[in-house]
Structure 1
Amino acid sequence: MKIAIIADDLTGANDCGGQLVHYGMDVSVKLDAEFTRRETEGVVIFNTDSRSLPAAEAKATVKNISEHISRQSFDIVYKKIDSTMRGNIGAELQAMYEVFQPDFVLIAPGYPQNGRQVIGGIHYVNGVKLEETEAANDPKTPVAESNIQRLIEKQTRNKSGHLSYEDIRRGHGHVRNKLERFRAEGISYVTADSVHESDLQGLALILESLPYSIILAGSAGLMSCLPKAFNLKERELGQTVPSSDQPIMFVVGSMSRTGREQLHELFAGRAAEKIEMRSERVLCGGAEKRNEFERLKERAADVQRRSKHIVLCTSDNAAETQKIGESRGLTPVQTSNAVSGALGEFAGELIQAFHVKRLFLTGGDTAYQVLHQLRIHEIRLLDEVEPGIPLGAAGEELYIVTKAGNFGSRSVMASAAIKLQGG
């Protein structure tokens, strides 16, 4: 089976692909959405890094990749979207629709086992409406709408339909009849509920047996249900990382509430120390930025001498950082990009200086920037630390865990440290 996935950021690309490694599939993530050869059997994931691009640019990028995919033979084409609906979802789906001309584009962003539920078309994160969560205050792509059907209609300028959880639970015949009604009304975009994991599982089984051409769009939640719907068998994974006692570098670019709790749990084990990049200094550029890097390098050398894991993160003063960016004529998006770019640059230099071979990267922008600095263009996914938290390899020696900022249990960083050292 061949699967093509288009994702708008790196951690999303990885967590989606991580769902498939347990089924014996070769999963490759292309960091720069490049294609130089015909893809063979397995899963290829194209990272467009387009979540915060202008909508027209994001659409053009996805359209280019879609045209490449359309010239090959894939069994499933999947659009990975953010589980909190950030990004240029409508523009990118429109690009895919124009290329593939499917009967339907089905959008199911829910991921109940990670606290993302869609109930009656309203998106909730851990029981809170999407528009009342941290996603509403995202500096790059804030989300001010909890109704996913309305959100899709605004972004695509197309009328859409909706499959409720009651529709899904009534089964194949009912869903098919409803889709026929949508088609008669000229509706191609359809959103879907998912209250429980069983709703996504039921939806996947129904979709597999429908006689329509469908572009699937969802988070890692829907993807996790597709293998069994297509009768793929799970396989036992052996040890995926060689044993090593070398310290790990954690690069934390997303300081969500969840991320802060995970760091607290990691530090409680006394095996890691924080090195904080002063964001306001790197925004000044020039000598101040260079001096900040030298300070970080000295701190990192001290932490490594004591055989502790290095946790490189940004200072937790977003309001002050945005104010400094504004004073320098930067928009909030430009300020955020400058900070994540500097964090990635510094991390890349530290990784090379201290010959780090085990990485934990959180936040899609940060992960992309770090790997870009290391000139890494492809990751092979090997395993998962937890559902939605994948582990991969680049080259022969570098092992990497990536995590979306607000994903994972409290102990995920501590668990990743054990996994990265071959435990």
Structure 2
Amino acid sequence: MFLESELLSSFPPDTPVSAAAVRKAIDAGGTKAEPVLVVLDDDPTGTQSVADLPVLTTWTVEDFAWAFAMDGPAVYVLTNTRSLDPQEAFERNRQVVRNARVAAGESRAVTFVSRSDSTLRGHFPLEPDAIAGTLANDFDEQIDGVVIVPAFPEAGRITIGGVHYMRQDHGTVVPVSETEFAQDATFGFTHSELARYVEEKSGGRIPAASVIGIDLSVLRQPDEQRTAHAVAAILDRAHDGSIIVADCVSENDLRRLALGLEAAEARGKRFIYRVGPPFVRGRIGQEMRAPLSADDVFGALEPRDRGGLIVVGSHVGLTSRQLAELTRQHPAATVIEIDVQILLAGGRGAYLDQAVGEVTAALTAGDVVLHTSRQLVRADDAAASLRIARSVSDALVEVVNRTLKTYAPRFVIAKGGITSSDVATHGLEIRRALVRGPMLPGIVSLWEPVQGPAQGIPYVVFAGNVGDDSSLAAVTRTLSSRFETTVPTRNAR
């Protein structure tokens, strides 16, 4: 554990850079068509840092044509690849890139972003490899480098001196390899230094010594023009898919990096980005949106006079604490547990029939918290653990979908990456939506489904590993019409 202030003491201080400065640099391209960022989001939590952008859960050429027609600077595509095995993830990346590139044609430039976890979990380097390979093999387009920026300052994930840290209490940080996330059953790792992480995850194919670094001494030049030149000069060294890792501690750092990336791309450099959630906001020069209020969410809707549904699948320690705090603060909510051991033992059909009946009945009286049992069930290998996770997620999704078609809730909150992806795509059958903005400062996004059975139902995507212990309760309080009522708690099972 280290003091963040001591780690930063050898670097220049942070100074303000406006989102407008990034937009001005982008606009300075004149008649050059600025590429649309196509963000391949390996779970839907990547949208929590942006607002007013389209999001797709299917990726046909027609889907991309709809999204591109909005003329926004970025389009999100929910690939959900973090829940897939490597071969499936590779193929899904290839499909998305191919269809996006076909939809763009010759009239629209696109740049691809592989958005993944700010705690370094996910299919790396497989996903950037799939993107680069598809561009090269199908469209004869070569990239110069893969820029890795996992930082997510609002959630306490920062990179200093090429090392990725997680903020703790009292101004301290811990290398991310020393956290529970590094012990992930599927995507575990042992290195926090990003160059060594790259070498580890590539099985030595990409030596740490070959990784190009952009640290805070480069990003924090005395003025924005010098920053852009300094970053672009380093990026000029990238060729044939070089790996570049960048420091980031603040939104200002993301914007400084964006200025340098814009300058390098204006010189003809082409990159793929492997990033955490806030990178896209910084890269397109979007302001940080204030959290949405209930009036923002329901103003144009006719909110249903019934309970909302909070679905909790994530098993990280923070989620379990948030679940406990929600039920403490909101005793009127009905709490229904899906026991994983019962699911895996058999009798699944009757068990889920019972759960659907309990959920729909409880929604008439108030909010419902539907969660999986908190003991994480793991297997001996990553693939088997992933299959168990999929089986559990499928059960939650079935309950949500059948509930939607029986008694649609006032709102839906989904907690956890795989959970929120599956609830969106299969539980609520969302195909196209608009990201309206965050529910908490810089984190937790609200989607507006634009078609299908969930149209008119606000949907909140809540990552498993963000916020504090009270955050889930805070979001529920904003959306609920029944928070802290006198309706008695019903704890099923």
Task: Provide Cα deviations, 1:149-200, integer angstroms capped at 9, x if missing partner.
Answer: 22223445334211112222232332233233455xx662101111333222
Q: CA deviation at 1:376?
A: 2.6
Q: 1:151 aligns with which of 180, 197, 201?
A: 197
Structure 1 partner of 2:475: 416
Q: Which residue of 1 aligns with 2:308?
A: 248
- Tell which deviates more after alignment, 52-61 or 108-117: 52-61
Q: Does the 8 Å contact 1:139/1:336 carry over to 2?
A: no
State the distance in 1 between where 2:445 and 2:288 align. Answer: 19
CA–CA distance in structure 2, aligned partners of residues 380 and 421 of structure 1: 21
Q: 1:274 aligns with which of 335, 346, 351?
A: 335
Residue matched to 2:247: 193
Where 2:418 maps in the other structure, the secondary structure is helix
Contact in 1 for aligned 2:55/2:434 (Cα 8 Å): yes
Distance in 1, Cα, partners of 2:311 & 2:215: 39
Question: What's the secondary structure of 2:125's corresponding residue?
Answer: helix
> What is aligned with 2:285?
228
TM-score (normalised: structure 2): 0.74
Give how far 1:301 is off. 4.8
- Specify which of 251, 255, 260 is matched with residue 206 of structure 1: 260
- DSSP 3-state at the match of 1:195: coil
- The residue number in structure 2 matching 1:55 is 86
One-letter amino acid of the structure 2 residue matched with residue 390 of structure 1: S
Q: 1:125 to 1:35 in 2, by over 3 A?
A: farther
| 1:83-122 to 2 correspondences below 5 Å | 83-98=118-133, 99=135, 100-122=141-163
Where 1:353 maps in the other structure, the secondary structure is: coil
Distance in 1 separating the partners of 2:121 and 2:161: 20
Task: Please give the secondary structure, in 1, of the residue aligned with 2:296.
Answer: coil
Question: CA distance change for structure 1 residues 189 and 356 in 2, over 3 Å: closer, same or farther?
Answer: same
What is the DSSP-based 3-state SS (H/G/I as helix, E as strand, rest coil) of the residue aligned with 1:79?
strand
Q: The residue matched to 1:311 in structure 2 has which SS?
A: strand
| Alpha-carbon distance in structure 2 between the residues aligned to 1:52 and 1:141 | 11
1:177 aligns with 2:177: no
How far 1:361 moved relative to its partner? 0.5
In the TM superposition, residue 62 of structure 1 has moved relative to its aligned partner by 1.2
Aligned CA-pair RMSD = 2.8
CA distance in 1, matches of 2:193, 2:311: 34
- The TM-score normalised by the length of structure 1 is 0.85
Post-superposition shift, 1:132?
Answer: 1.8
Alpha-carbon deviations, 1:36-55, whole Å to 9, x = none?
25231223212222124333
Number of equivalent positions: 401
- Contact 1:262/1:410, CA 8 A, preserved across alignment: yes
Identical positions, percent: 25
How far did residue 315 of structure 1 move?
0.6
Alignment-derived partner of residue 19 in structure 2 = none
Partners of 1:277 and 1:236 lie apart in 2 by 31
1:3-402 correspondence to structure 2 within 5 Å: 3-12=37-46, 14-15=47-48, 18-21=49-52, 27-36=53-62, 38=65, 39-40=68-69, 41-42=71-72, 43-71=74-102, 72=104, 73-74=108-109, 76-98=111-133, 99=135, 100-126=141-167, 127-156=173-202, 157-158=205-206, 159-170=210-221, 171-183=227-239, 188-210=242-264, 211=267, 212-228=269-285, 239-241=296-298, 242=301, 243-267=303-327, 268-285=329-346, 288-301=347-360, 303-305=362-364, 307-318=365-376, 321-322=377-378, 331-371=384-424, 372-386=426-440, 387-394=442-449, 395=451, 396-402=455-461
User: Alignment partner of 2:81: what SS?
Assistant: coil
Shift of 1:269: 3.2
Q: Secondary structure at the match of 1:123?
A: strand
Counterpart code for 1:253: G
2:157 is matched by which residue type in structure 1?
R
In 1, Cα distance between the equivalents of 2:127 and 2:371?
A: 31
Which moves more between the two structures, 244-253 or 186-195?
A: 186-195
Unaligned runs of 5+ in 1: 22-26
- The alpha-carbon deviation at position 277 of structure 1 amounts to 0.6
Deviates more, 1:252-261 or 1:293-302: 293-302
SS at 2:212's partner residue?
A: strand
In structure 2, how many angstroms separate the alpha carbons of the residues matched to 1:180 and 1:227? 21
Q: 1:383 to 1:197 in 2, by over 3 A?
A: closer
Kindly state the Cα deviation for residue 147 of structure 1 after the two structures are TM-superposed.
2.1
Contact 2:289 2:438 in 1 (8 A): no
- 1:418 is displaced (CA, Å) by 4.1
| Structure-2 change in CA distance of 1:409 and 1:35 (3 Å) | farther
Question: What residue in structure 2 maps to residue 24 of structure 1?
Answer: none
For the residues of structure 1 that align with 2:359 and 2:331, how far apart are their CA atoms? 16
Which 10-residue stretch deviates more, 164-173 or 79-88?
164-173
